[in-house]
Structure 1
Amino acid sequence: MDTLTLHLEPEQDLLLSLSEVAQEKQISGFLLGVVGNLSKASFQCPGRDQPTVLEGELEIITLNGTFDADGVHLHLSLSDGACQVWGGHLEKGSLILKGADLLLGILKQGQAARSRTKTRLEIAVLPGCPWCASALRLLEAYNIPHLVITVDNDVTFQQCQQRSGMNTFPQVFIDGTTIGGFDSLEKLQRSGELLTLK
């Protein structure tokens, strides 16, 4: 196993920064350690529909999980100014306050945690959409490799609409074919077919 240090500057997004490094360097592995703080933390607590968002001087206590070119799955715990500890599944929007240093464990070729073959499932999501968040949590819970298309502008919206013929989100594609939205994804999960996409 090789290691890589990653330094993040103020205002960088913790999740997106690690995801960008994994994609750019085509690496996979897991987090060995972290020291740093956040000005804003966004994390998903179990059983809640929306992420919890905290702001202030937030000290990172632990950050555990895996990363590769297809995605990042991290669990965060942190302390606020009253020394109250919070934690959950790290979401986008967690911003570095003064700085953060991460130590990454890089798996060698052939040891990747996820398949290096082409990702079969794509999902188009709208920011802030509860059904989209539920769909992403379902995929992550079953560790299904997936490519996320974030629909945050009119051009991407129109491209997805033309591709799927749908006006609602999420939009799920398997092997390039539209299968539907969250209900269709949940149906695949109940039938056991979702596991065949691992």
Structure 2
Amino acid sequence: MRFLALHLEPGSDVRQSLEQLAAQEGGHGFVLSVVGNLTQASFQCPGEAGPTVLTGELEIITLQGTVAARGVHLHLSFSDNACQVWGGHLEPGTLVYKGADLLVGLFDAEPGPEQQSAEPLMVPLAQAATVPRVEVAVLPGCPFSARALRMLRTLGIAHRVIEPSQPGSVPQVFIDGAFIGGYDALAELHARGSLDGLRGA
């Protein structure tokens, strides 16, 4: 993995700058840290038809998610001058005020579907002829995807990694073909003991 320091000048579009970086570097990864401020934030709130746009002197709190040549999926949170916190999916039109400094971690190459599928130990050899009851849609570099896969491996639950069929947050967990949610939903099922019947299944 390579670590790249990205400084954004006043007026830079945060999302477009990260898309350009990923395209130039040809890798995939995630944002590790960010400090800076904005004159305008454009972000998508859940359930809204279009982006919300706020202007003013806005302080960036967090920016996290995945960065890849095929696109970025990032969540932004920031505060306004009343210290009210806002956040959502980062959209184009999020503009830097005085400056912003980001640290991005990039893997050296974009893995193909066969590499993504082969990474975890998904199906025990004795069960290779059967289809696992659990499927997980993940994206490279997503920390919650990694946590979900680690939990399933630790519990000894056979699973198959798939690519997301539609845009949205990852991981997307399916049990017996039914969508149950993301990492939080999987962790809640584990806490209730509801995953015990899937061990070795």
Shift in alpha-carbon separation, 1:108–1:25, aligned structure 2, 3 A = closer
C-alpha offsets along residues 71-107 of structure 1, whole Å, 9 cap, x if unaligned? 0110000000000000000000000000000000112
Look up the SS of the partner of 2:167 in the other structure. Answer: helix
Query: 1:43 touches 1:51 (CA, 8 Å); kept in 2?
Result: yes
What's the TM-score, normalizing by structure 2? Answer: 0.56
Q: Is residue 28–residue 106 contact of structure 1 (8 Å, CA) maintained in 2?
A: yes
Structure 2 residue runs without a partner (length 5+) = 116-164, 171-201
Identity %: 57
What residue is the counterpart of 2:72 in the other structure?
Answer: 72
1:20-75: CA deviations, max 9, x gaps? 11101212100100000110000000011111100000000000000111101100
Q: How does 1:108-187 map to 2 (within 5 A)?
A: 108-109=108-109, 112=111, 115=113, 139-141=166-168
Alignment of 1:49-64 (within 5 A): 49-64=49-64
Give the aligned residue type for 1:38.
Answer: L
Gaps of 5+ in 1: 118-137, 144-198
Structure 1-normalised TM-score? 0.57
How far has the Cα of 1:108 moved from its partner?
3.3
Secondary structure of the equivalent of 1:49? coil
Q: Aligned Cα RMSD in Å?
A: 2.3
Whether 2:43 is the aligned partner of 1:16: answer no
List structure 1 runs of 4+ shifted beyond 3 angstroms: 114-117
User: How far, CA to CA, are the matches of 1:52 and 1:68 in structure 2?
Assistant: 24
Name the aligned partner's letter for residue 12 of structure 1: S
Which residue matches 2:162? none
Q: Does 1:99 align with 2:93?
A: no
Given the superposition, is the C-alpha separation of residues 56 and 141 from structure 1 closer, same or farther in structure 2, using an over 3 Å criterion? same
The alpha carbon displacement at 1:140 in A equals 2.1
Partner-residue secondary structure (3-state), 1:140: coil
